[in-house]
Every structure is written in structure tokens, then in C-alpha cells.
Structure 1
Amino acid sequence: MKASRTSSSPLLPFAMLVLTLILAALDQTILSTALPVIARELRGSWPLAWVFSAYLLAATVVIALYGRLADVLGKKPMLLLAIGLFLAGSLACGASQDVQQLVLARALQGAGGGGLMTLTMLTVPDLFAPEQRGRYQALLGAAYGVSTMFGPLLGGALVEHLSWHWAFWMNVPAAALAWGVLASTLPSKPMAAQASAAEEGRQRTRIDWLGAVLLTAALVLLLLATQHGQLNLPEAVSLWLLLGLGAKFALAFIWRQKRAAQPLLPLSLFARPAYAAVSFIGMATGIALYAAVVFLPQYLQIGLHLSPTGSAWHLLPLMAGITVAAVTSGKLLRAQRPAISVARVACVLMLLSFGLMIGVLRWLPAEPLALSAALLPLGLGLGLLFPIVTVVAQRVSPAQHMGIATAAPIMLRSLGGAAGVALLAALLTRLVKQELTTPGALAHGAADAVTAALGHGLQSVFGCAAVAVLLALIASSWLVQKRPPEGLANDGLLEAAS
């Protein structure tokens, strides 16, 4: 079966997909260096941490809904809607006059950005033949990883030379260009489904809105719990209340999915071993990526007294590793290399990286270049895994569920990053406080004591991240080699064992 193609070269619309994914990835981290300036210039009673959390919440909760709506209404209209919301949110963010306006505008921007992360991956099969998709999915994975890393650098440069408003306004011309090109070049209909026309008609009439509401409530409550310490919520809204309500809504969502005629997230997908494996691997990559991106700059800035921009430059080996390995992963998939082998190599590289970082913090804690070099294997491992998660998830799933099957691992990666960082941050805070309050901890000066405590705490943090990667390595065993079905012989991909 041939993929639906555009009438002209697919490279132009693909370039626009890359552009939109870059914009969505940048906006996850671009404010890390711009936020202090925003805090000085904007008034408001809401906590400034909500500027980050509003985008994270909105982007995460809409991922699954975008995936399902793409199955029902088509990918093109949903992609154009996501770009439009992101563009409108960017305009509103740049024009905000107080913190409250900025928080609400960031939520609107996130409602579009969450769709961009899913729909760009989902649209690739409409542009390229099966044997080419791994390569282009890999390029999207590389663009996402590198853009996330460059966010702090770009944010610092914009604040220094222009103003914080341009951290948002720069999105407007790029998003408008992408919207116009994609509106005119993408095929109007999604790739031909294997389901019958009658079944497709029934699919188009049903959306599990109750399931969507339950999932949204569960995700919002659980994500608020991960950010509880930073958001200054009312005293009545305790951490345990958020966790308890979130768990109840999550269980209600699962109950609904088992009984809904057209579930938002078919649980049958997770009965496929390969799909369950890549979903867990996606979550582990979120934990590993953000553990390095969030905590290592903190150590470089607080412990070694580097500037925000200087600490961001030390992430370059991570960027380089992601870029090179993502392209390589696409080539390996195209050459029909077993995904199980590539995934195992990736996990081993990531374990090596966390081991090296723990060793550097133990024996060379004052050498930022050694820490920077230790990031390279992590970047290589992440780059190898990014395309595998998306491509394998698409290939082991029924055509009528392609959208939600692509979206779920991306949603889990965001959840893994958010929840993992929150839990690891709580662990780090506890370990640092515990060490600083021990007798004689400050004997050699407060600054040296903080640096030592932070370094010791990060060894435990990176050890926990390594455990997540180790579990991903075990899960990769569920990627089993099986002869692809007729019509997909050139995919070089893996199906789940039935």
C-alpha cells in the first residue's frame, strides 16, 4: 500500500513540520533564562512558576485528544488548528501586561504546542513511503531534542539584545509561514486506512468526550501535584488531595476506556508487547532527558558559579549526540536493523552516561568540562531512541488508531519528564538539606558546603534516572523480531508478537 503523497515534493511541507516542532520544543525551555527579567517587569499576584506550569499542563493534557481527533477528523485540520492556537497564544504572551495575562496566554499557547509535538510525527506517513519514514521521523526527533537544549541560550540572547517579548513574538512569522505552506501542500485526507469505509464512518461520528474529560482532570491534578511546591497553591489544596483526586480520576478514566464503544485511548494497544515497550521507553526518555537538562545546569550555576549562558553551552555534547544519533537511528531502521538491538545499545549508552556523571561528581566535582563530556553518551542514546518510539508505535498499531497510538507515547514522555523531575527535585532538596544540617558541614565555608552537598545529592538523582533507563532496557526485550506483513516488507520495523 502506498502512502498518500502531495502533488509536489514532500520536502517543503516536511520542512514546515520541522519548523513547527522546533517552535513547540523551544517554548518548553526558552523562558528559563528570560524569567528573571519578566519577574522584574511584570506585576501580578500569581506565582511566576505558573508561567511554566500553564504551558506544561495545557500541552500535556491535549496530546491524547489531538491524537484521537486526528483519527476522527483527519490530521491536516487538527495540525492547522494546533498551529493557529500556538500562533494566537504567542501573540497574547508577547502582549501580556501582567503575570495573570501571561499565564492564561501560556495556557493557550500550550494548547497549540501540545498538538504540534504529536501531529508533526503523525503527518510524516502522509508524505513519505514506508521505507523512508524512519529517516524523516529521526530528523524530527533530532530537531526536538536540539531545540529543547537551545531554548535557554536563545532566551538569554533575546533578553540581552531585544526584550522578553520577542521570546514569544519570534514565533509569529514562523508559525504563520508554516500554516500557509501546510494548508496548501498537505493532502486533504489522511493516509488510506485499512478499516472499511463503513467502519471509518462510524469512527467519524463518535468521540469519547467523557473519557477526554476524565483524562484531562487526572492529568491536571497529577501535574499540579508534581508542581505543588512551586505554585503556592491555597493551603486547602494539599499535595495528598491532588494525588488522591488524580488517582481517582485516572482509575475512572481506565474504567471508562474498558467500556466505551469508541475509547479515547484503546487499552488494547497496550496488550501489544512492542507498543507497551515503546510507551514505557518513551516515559524513561523523558525522565533521562529532563534529569540532565534541569539538574546539571543547576549544579554548574550554583555549585561552580557559571553564568546561565555558560552553563547552557556545556549541554552542547548532549545536543550533538541527539542530532547525530537520531539521524543514524533513521538509517539503521531503513536498513532493517532490528529495533531491539538499536534500543539496547541506546539504553547501554545512557546508563554509561549516568555512570560517568556520577563518577565525575564523586572524583572530579570541580571540572565542568568532564561533566559536559559525560553527557555525550546520553545524547547518543536519546537520539537513537526518539525515532524508534514513534516509528514502532505507528507500525504495531491498527490504522484506525494511528493518531492516538502516536500520541500516547509522546504524552507519557511529557508525563515522565514532569513527574520525574518533580520527584527527583524533592529528593535532591531533602538530601542537600540533610547534609547541610549535619554537624561540621559548614566547617570549610558555606559556599563549599553547598557545592559538596549539591554534588552528593546529584549522584543519587542521576542514580535514580539510571534505574529508569535500566527498566527501559528490560522493556526493550519486548521488541521482538517478526517477519513484517505483506505490503510492509520494506519497513524494516518490528511487530509485536501476537
Structure 2
Amino acid sequence: MGDSTEDCKPESKPLAINNVDDVEAVDVSSPQNVSVNSEKMKVYQTGWRLHALTAGLCLSLLLSTLETTIVSTSLVSIVNALRGFGQAGWVVTSYLLTYTGFLIIYAKLSDTLGTKLLLMIAIGLFTVFSLACGVSNSMLQLIIFRSFQGLGASGIYSLVSVMTPLMVPPAKYATYIAIISSVFAISSVLGPLLGGAITDHTTWRWVFYLNGPGGTLALLIIGISIPFSFPYASDHDTGLLTKLSAEKAWKKFDYLGGFASLTASILLVFALEQGGVVYSWGSAAIIAPFVLSGVLWVVFVLWERGLSLRKGALVEPLFPWGLACNRFVLGLLLNAFLTGFPFMAALINIPQRMQVVNGTTAVEAGLRMLPLLLCSPVATTVSGLLVSKLKVPPAYILLGGCCLQAVGIGLFSSLPSSGNLAIPAAQYGYQVIMGFGFGFNLGTCVIMVPMVVRQRDMAVTMGSVTQIRVLGGTIGLAVCSALLSTHVGMGTSEFLNNEQQGALLKSFQSIRVLPQDVQLRIREVYAIGYNQQMRAMLYFCAAAIVSLSLLAENSPRKLQMTDGGEIIVRGAERDVEK
């Protein structure tokens, strides 16, 4: 990998986890391992501090990830109370716009301002604006407050991804990445349960009020568990104002790159969320954001390249060009992007299929998703053990994960679409295969980042992997939605009039007023549509397998521990010690 201030050069030999310009990392329980030559000392957390930090990260991440599923379940009650049916989609979209757009910006800022400070700001924003959402008296107020709530949630997601590999040594990555990954499974199950309970027994405002005490507790736990200098020793903590003044941090930030990345992401997500729902795909309201987003992504790439190549530039590029020249980084980014398609499609569309086609409740659908949701963190743990204990090259695990998710998605696309539409027992096996595939992929991507970039580039690389995975998932959901809407419109045109079709596409609940035989035909149409969605996702699974060619080496890199407990990366051409 070339330096971030130089143009692309022929690919270098595999890098160590940390180079000479990076900081030394030690376990605080083993002071004899401290390097006296280190300019800074990175401290791994142990004891109660590690447990408290893990609890704080999990709690904050749980609250932010719950917001999508729990709000979706309660959306009908919300729009009825605020009389804003026509703006219902914006309650979800406004959250996703800021949630997606700020991921890499938070990661880059953490290099200057520190992860703890930014995480506390993010949790504070999320908590305050959650309460503001709860007291909203109009749809406009709710939509505005939701966008700021998404801003806080974006920071939580991004910084938790950055902090997880910093708080423990590589040998313990597996355990803690699995713990963090399990939060997504828990939120997917709890979302429909809490949303349904709140809707049935109290006011929708508690969907947002519950983040108040939870967010406050997470803020307190993070505040007392680690110093503001995390992950470095506290004696390097010179204070925020001193640090900003001495390093001229605000002058170093890449404002143009941040603006281009943020705006391009927001425009892309807006077009994908609103296309085919509020506006037709061929309308100017959708085409214009797509075009502007494409132009801004080109501007972003050209600006980052020019900034990286400029000698003596005072501004640090948001995404150093050296990373763009590193085929291993590009391989991880491309694989994360392509995996995002089937991952989000499975999490969102499988429970929808169970409710629409099989007639389950939202709570039942969530419970029937347990095989996928529980196997994913288990696979993440296994992948970490394979990398750290058995010294299996991560590239092999990624290949296995991609193949498993392709098999699972392919099998799920073959579910019965006519006759008896009861949930077949085989679909639980398909979920297990998918769960292991997703777990191997998502966990190994995170584990492999420190093996292909320098310490100073870890935060922005983690943020980039996270953001591009979310973008992939958003695009995947838009593709699935377009396929389903088109198929349902064509498939029901033979036995439903235009008014009935319009009501059906707005809400599946309108099926209840139709005769039983018509209901069965509609469910069969939806079953075929959901199968088509999965077959479309199968193409992205295949592309994800092809993307791994960028990680190919004659002797794939892997982690190994020395007798002294140090970590080395054993690579294609030589061994490089940390």
C-alpha cells in the first residue's frame, strides 16, 4: 500500500498491523510488554473497564438499531395520531438519510477528536432528539427530529465499529466482535415485539421515550469506563481545547470531501427510498438526485486523489488515496457492499414474507427468524477463532461465507408459491445456512481490516466498510421493493381493479375486505414476488464471490502469535512483525 500522500505505486509487500509510524499496543495486565520506544502507548482494556465499555457499546448500539424496526411496526399508529399518512415514508427516510451519510465523517473525526468524545456526543444527540420525537405534535416536527436522531445513531454505529478492535488485542477480536454482532440479532427480534406491545398497550410516543433512560445510562457507562484519550494511555490526554489548538484540528479536516461524501450519500438514499413509492422512477424528482449523486461521487474521488497527492497540504484527505490504491482495501469494500444487498434483503423481507404470504403476526415472524439471527453471531465467533486460534487465512473464511450465503439465498428463492402456503420446516435450515454465511462475511471483514492497513488508517477504513455496507443494503432494499411492486401490479391486474390494486400496494391490510379465494390468489402472487427478490439477490451473492479475487495471494496472509505474545501478519512474500 502506498503512502496516503503519494500516487499509486506497484503493490507493496504485506504490511504489519502497525508500522514504525504507528503506536505500540499493549495489554495493561502485562506491563512488561510496554515498548519504551513507543511515541504513544495504546492500552487494551481489562477487568471492569472492559466489561463496562462492552455493556455501554452494546446498549447504545441496541437503542440505535431498534429504531428502524420498532418505528416501522408503530408507523400506522404514528401517522394516524399526527394525521400525516402522505408523509409516512419520511418518518423512516429522514432517519436513514443522516444515518447513512455521516458514517465515514464520524470515523475520520475520531482520529482528531477521539472516539470517546465523539461517541458521547452521538449518544447525546440520539437521546435528546429521541425525546424530541416523542413530544412532536406534527409530522413536520417528527420528520425534522428524526433526521437529527439519525445523525446521533450514525455516530453510534460508526464509532462502535471503530472502537471494538481497539479495546482488546487481536486474539480476542472473535469474542467481542461476536458480542457486538449479536446486538443486531437481538434488535431484530425485540423491534417487532416492543413495537407491537407499545402500539397495543400505550401511546406510540413510548417508541421514542424509551431511548431517554437507555441513552442516559449508556452515556454514563461510557463516561466512567474509559478516559478521553482512549485507546491511548491517560497520560497522553492533554485536553480537548489544547489538542484542537495545538494540532489545528479544524483546519486539517477535509470539509469539501466531507460535504461531497455526505451530500452524495443523502441524495442516493433519498432517490432509492422515494423512487417508486412517492415519485415514479422516471420523474425528475428521482432522476435529478441520482445524477447529482453520481456527479458528487466523481468530485469526491477526484478531490481526494488531488488532496492526497498534494505535497505539504495542510488538509488531511477524508479517504487517503493510498487506500484506494490498495487492492485488499478495495476487495473488502466491494465485498462489504455486495454482501449488504442480500443481508438487508433477508433481514427485512423474510419477516415481511411470513406476515404477507404465511399470515403470521409481526411477533411470530420475529421469533421464526431466530435461526438466521442467532447463527450469524455464532458464525462471527467461529470466524474469529479460526483466524486467531487455528491461523486460517481470513480470505478463505470470506470465500466460505460468500458461498454459504449464496446457497441459503438460492434455496430460499425456491419456497412454495402456490397451494399450501404454510411455512415449510426446510426454511429454518435455509436460514441457518444464510446466518452462517452472513456471520462469516461480516465478522471476517472487520477482523481483516487491521491486517491490510496501517493503524492510522484503521478508523477511516472501518467507517468506509460500514458506510458502503449500509449503502449496499439500502440499494438492495430498493431493488427488492421495485421488483415486488412491479410483479404485484402485473400479477393482480387480472382480478383486481385499479382502486383495489392501489389500496393493496399502500397497505397489505386491505386484503382483509376481499373474498377468501381472492386473498389466496394475492398471497400466491406475493409469494412469487418474494422468490423473485431472492433470485435477484443471488446475483449479488455471486458478484461478492468474484470480488474476493482482489484478496488473492500466493500465500494468503494470516495472523500468528509469537512466543512473547506479539502479533504478526504472515503474508505472501515475507513475515512482518508488529
Q: Normalising by the residue count of structure 1, what TM-score does the alignment of the two structures yield?
A: 0.90
Q: Does 1:353 pair with 2:404?
A: no
Q: Does 1:472 align with 2:547?
A: no
CA distance in 2, matches of 1:271, 1:55: 33
Question: Secondary structure of the equivalent of 1:164?
Answer: coil
1:174 Cα deviation after fit:
1.7
Find out whether 1:272 has 2:318 as its counterpart.
no
SS at match of 1:366: coil
Counterpart residue number, 1:5 = 44
**Which one is further off, 80-89 or 4-13?**
4-13
Q: Give the corresponding residue for 2:530.
A: 458
| Equivalent residue number for residue 253 of structure 1 | 300
Give yes or no for contact 1:394–1:406 (8 Å, CA) kept in 2: no
Residue 299 (structure 1) shift: 2.5
Q: Check conservation: 2:394, 2:558, Cα contact below 8 A.
A: no
Q: Which runs of 4+ in 1 moved over 4 A?
A: 200-205, 233-237, 362-365, 438-445, 483-498
Question: Hey, what does 2:349 align to over in structure 1?
Answer: 295
| Aligned residue in 1 for 2:167 | 127
Partner of 1:29: 69
In structure 1, the residue matched to 2:365 is 311
SS at match of 1:4: strand
Give the letter for the 1:4 counterpart: V
Give the corresponding residue for 2:121. 81
Aligned to 1:222: 268
Q: 1:439 to 1:407 in 2, by over 3 A?
A: same
Q: Of the candidates 540, 543, 557, which is equivalent to residue 482 of structure 1?
A: 557
**Percent of aligned pairs with the same amino acid:** 26
Cα 1:133–1:496 shift into 2, 3 Å: farther
> Judging changes above 3 Å, is the alpha-carbon distance between structure 1 residues 145 and 305 closer, same or farther for their aligned structure 2 residues?
closer
The AA in structure 2 aligned to 1:392 is M
Alpha-carbon spacing, 1:494–1:383, altered in 2? closer, same or farther (3 Å) = farther
Q: 397-406 or 479-488, which moves further after superposition?
A: 479-488
- 1:136-155 deviation line (CA, Å, top 9, x unaligned): 12221222243234322221
1:323 is aligned to: 377
Larger Rg: 2
Instruction: Tell me the residue number matched to 1:333.
Output: 387
Task: Say if 2:443 is the partner of 1:387.
Answer: yes
Letter aligned with residue 229 of structure 1: G
Q: Secondary structure, in 3 states, of the residue corresponding to 2:263?
A: helix
Residue of structure 2 aligned with 1:212, choices 233, 236, 258: 258
Q: Secondary structure at the match of 1:448?
A: helix
Matches within 5 A, 1:14-163: 14-44=54-84, 47-163=87-203
Distance in 2 (CA, whole Å) between partners of 1:363 and 1:469 is 26
Change (3 A) 1:280 1:65: same
1:249 corresponds to which letter in structure 2?
L
- Offset of 1:60 from its aligned partner? 0.6
Q: How many residues are treated as equivalent by the alignment?
A: 493
Q: CA deviation at 1:34?
A: 0.8
Q: Deviation digits for residues 395-445 of structure 1, max 9, x if unmatched? A: 322222221111011101111111111122112221232233369999994
Post-superposition Cα deviations, 1:151-185, rounded to whole Å, max 9, x if no partner, equal: 22221122223332222111111211111121122
Mark the CA change 1:448 to 1:269 in structure 2 (over 3 Å): closer, same or farther: same
Bigger shift: residues 70-79 or 381-390: 381-390
Q: Which amino acid aligns with 1:102?
A: L
2:418–2:524: 8 Å Cα contact kept in structure 1?
no
Give a deviation string over 1:459-486, Cα, whole Å, max 9, x none. 2210111111122122234334226699
Q: Is the 8 A contact 2:341 2:476 kept in 1?
A: yes
The answer (yes or no) to whether the contact 1:349–1:377 under 8 Å persists in 2 is yes
Q: Which moved more, 1:167-176 or 1:440-449?
A: 440-449
Aligned to 2:288: 241
Separation in 1, partners of 2:264, 2:521: 40
Q: CA deviation at 1:111?
A: 0.3
Is residue 380–residue 444 contact of structure 2 (8 Å, CA) maintained in 1? no
Q: Which moved more, 1:81-90 or 1:455-464?
A: 455-464
1:364 deviation in Å? 7.7
CA 1:202 to 1:315, structure 2 compared with 1: closer, same or farther past 3 Å?
Answer: same
Higher helix share: 1
Aligned to 2:31: none
Q: TM-score w.r.t. structure 2 length? A: 0.78
- Give the whole-Å Cα distance in 2 for the aligned partners of 1:59 and 1:406: 16
Instruction: Work out the CA distance in 1 between the residues paired with 2:463 and 2:224.
Output: 25
Q: Which residue of structure 2 lines up, in the alignment, with residue 343 of structure 1? A: 398
Partner residue, 2:336: 282
Distance 1:236 1:497, change over 3 A: farther
SS in structure 1 at match of 2:136: coil
The code of the aligned residue for 2:404 comes to L
Instruction: Give the aligned residue type for 2:533.
Output: V
Structure 1 counterpart of 2:295, one-letter code: K
RMSD over aligned Cα, in angstroms?
3.1
Decide which of 352, 375, 381 is 2:431's aligned counterpart: 375
Q: Report if aligned partners of 1:297, 1:308 keep a CA contact under 8 Å in 2.
A: yes
Q: 1:236 to 1:160 in 2, by over 3 A?
A: same
Shift of the 204–41 alpha-carbon distance from structure 1 to 2, 3 Å rule, reads closer
Give the match for residue 7 of structure 2.
Answer: none
Secondary structure in 2 matching 1:136 = helix
User: Which residue type is aligned with residue 339 of structure 2?
Assistant: T
Of 208-217 and 233-242, the range deviating more from structure 2: 233-242
Q: Describe the superposition over 1:282-320 as per-residue Cα deviations: whole angstroms up to 9, x where unpaired.
A: 223321122123222332222233222222222121112
Structure 2: give runs of 5+ residues left out of the alignment.
1-23, 27-41, 234-242, 308-312, 498-513
Q: 1-side partners of 2:573 and 2:132: how far apart? A: 48
1:19-59 Cα distance to aligned partner (Å, 9 max, x none): 11111111122112111111221134861110101111111
- Unaligned 5+ residue runs, structure 1? none
Assess if the C-alpha contact under 8 Å between 2:279 and 2:286 holds in 1: no
Indicate which of 292, 306, 317 corresponds to 1:263.
317
For 1:176-187, list aligned pairs within 5 A.
176-187=216-227
Tell me the equivalent position of 1:167.
Answer: 207
The answer on whether the counterparts of 1:139 and 1:326 sit within 8 Å (CA) in structure 2 is: no
Query: Which letter does structure 2 place at the counterpart of 1:245?
Result: L
Q: 1:161 to 1:209 in 2, by over 3 A?
A: same
